[in-house]
Structure 1
Amino acid sequence: MSTAAPAGRPPMWVRSSYSNGAGGECVECARVTRGVLVRDSKDAGGPVVTVGAGAWRCFVGGLGRGRSVPPA
């Protein structure tokens, strides 16, 4: 995983529907060619984590089945 956004076109960020309206606990994601970028919406200029497409599908699939994700 990388902690920097790739160069080129700016990503189109989408905020989680589970984020609260007060600005806390907000996560934003953006699709890129080989996966998904994830960042803290309260720190848009801060670190960005790049997650590979396969790992992201597994993560989202696990959420859909109500499974917790084990720590790395």
Structure 2
Amino acid sequence: MTPTPLTWIKSSYSGNDGPDCVEVAISTPTIHIRDSKNKNGARLAFTGDAWSEFLSQMHA
């Protein structure tokens, strides 16, 4: 079985000529995060629950 390629979404805080930020790709059941300026570098992967918890802490 061939894995489905991820569709990466660039953060709205990243500009085309401005500061680099992060990109997110959602694939059930995992949310993937990578640095937008180093697309072949390290990536993080979260379960949906862990990602929700992370986001809730960011808004605290």
TM-score, normalised to structure 1, is 0.67
Matches within 5 A, 1:18-37: 18-37=13-32
Aligned to 2:36: 41
Equivalent of residue 17 in structure 1, options 6, 9, 12: 12
TM-score, normalised to structure 2, is 0.77
Percent identity of paired positions between Structure 1 and Structure 2: 34
Aligned to 1:58: 53
Count, aligned residues: 59
DSSP 3-state at the match of 2:37: helix
Displacement over 6 Å in runs of 4+:
none
Give 5+ residue unaligned stretches, structure 2: none
When you count strand as a share of all residues, which structure comes out higher? 2
Q: Which has the higher contact order (CA 8 A, sep 6+)?
A: 1
